[in-house]
Copies of this chain bind each other. A is one copy, B any other.
């Protein structure tokens, strides 16, 4: 293991020195705090990147994580690297050639904005533990003052990961009209009890450090460096996945690096943690750690999609929610709660659970940037701007697979009224969604299991939730859509009854298309040749490798509908090879069926 391995990973700010480009603004109006008390004066340290457009419609607010600061990226080649250099800069996903980026240090922090280490103007001493209990809401109010001061009435987007994601959610709750887009990454509507428990232990370690001096250690000879280092070590473990730790420290467990820190160094991972802990105390304030982690722990928008649904009701911004599969501190199921709440209330939301081995840290590492960076780029590019030139990407008609399906899609488009809201299940690269979206203005949403397809759709300005239909639909409300479409997918679904039930619950009408295994050519294969049916298109796969696991005919499906009390509103049967509709014995002569159903 090299020293680089030590520096590589964390939620860490990569700079610890002075913030050379930080601007400061002081608000002299007292800030009344959510849980009572007030701050007589608040100073905010912030940095900006890029130019504010004449229409003031390109401002992107970035909210940092627990130990972050205003230095999100380097300002020039000589500058120190920022904590999110991989995401922010000219040509990068958050492109400073296009957007005006604002990153303030948060309230309660220790990197320029008012916090426990700030001198209380009313006493002339640092606040210490007299700093009042603050909330994520208070932090947002301070950011709001800054945004107002910069003359921005509406942000293009609020972006934040981890603790910064909590601020993003709180922005949407408090100021639902203040932004066009919300992009929370690796975050949650509240911490898990497990994550909260780790915070409690971390704070206990700080509070019981004899050098804590009741929080007034600023003028003492010693500071609670042990307690803060212990807190940081616990944090570090939670930022990494088990898999990432195995890879980093598993090959030789008894090869500690020689780091001059006062912690146990018998094991490789011990020297790593000791190094991280000791490094952290040089740049972070223990009282800030307590204030910020307590604010995180108090944050609670709700523990279920149903509790969350009213929270975001007033916010009509577009959403992109991103989580990481191996993140166990802010696990994907918590992001899904936010996504489900938004889906339930008709919001325009896209979601992607990025497959990553990097744990919570993935958010700051280049490893999965191709996925979360490009999702971010596509999302921001499709937010409407008054002064934007007509965009080239996203407005072109999709090509590729789509052409092959024209007959299929044309029929579906004919069946769906222009004013209808539509949910497309298994939306793929978004061809049908795109056609629907560009011929009328009603609500059009997609669901797909493939993250790459979701990324493509987000880049095309479509709203798609990544979810596996075998695990059920997002939590849509009953009859939320005029139409739900399941096109050429039913034959690949494990639990047919469940998906049919769900579709018929959330849609007034459902359009189901499927390949007919009663098609004459397929029958002959089995009846005459004694072979499993295998055809072109979706049937081209061999029996041992096909994604299709349900084999049924039009007759089978009609019987199924009768048995389950499903009403067939309309049936269209096609011979796609001949390119025509089939009316004579369709169970034998049609290779594709389109059913319009209702309950």
Contacts and interface: CB of A to CB of B under 8 A. Distances in A.
A264 B207 contact: yes
A192 B242 contact: yes
Given A237-B194, A544-B552, A530 B200 contact: no
A267 interface: yes
Interface stretch (A111-119, A175-183, A248-256): A248-256
A418 interface: no
Given A201-B237, A205-B230, A527 B530 contact: no
A204 B527 contact: no
A552 B541 CA distance: 13
A245 B527 contact: no
Given A526-B527, A543-B552, A551-B543, A245 B497 contact: no
A226 interface: yes
A550 interface: yes
A269 B200 contact: yes
A546 to B, nearest CB: 8
A67 B136 CA distance: 39
* Copies of this protein, total: 2
A415 interface: no
A269 B527 contact: no
Contacts of A237: 194, 197-198, 201
A208 interface: yes
A215 to B, nearest CB: 13
Nearest to A209: B208
A6 to B, nearest CB: 14
A132 B378 CA distance: 60
A530 B242 contact: no
A531 B545 contact: no
Contacts of A524: 527
Nearest to A329: B242
Contacts of A294: 266
A293 to B, nearest CB: 11
Interface in A213-261: 226, 229-230, 233-234, 237, 240, 242, 245-246, 248-250, 253
21 contacts: A193-B245, A193-B253, A194-B237, A194-B240, A196-B249, A196-B267, A200-B264, A203-B264, A204-B230, A204-B233, A250-B303, A253-B300, A497-B544, A517-B532, A518-B530, A523-B530, A526-B527, A526-B553, A530-B555, A543-B551, A544-B560
Interface of A: 190, 192-194, 196-198, 200-201, 203-205, 207-208, 210, 226, 229-230, 233-234, 237, 240, 242, 245-246, 248-250, 253, 262-264, 266-267, 269-270, 273-274, 294, 297, 300, 303, 328, 331, 496-497, 517-518, 523-524, 526-527, 529-532, 543-545, 549-556, 560, 587-588
Top 8 A-B residue pairs of the complex, sorted by shortest distance between their CB atoms: A527-B527, A549-B549, A496-B544, A193-B245, A518-B530, A193-B249, A200-B270, A530-B587
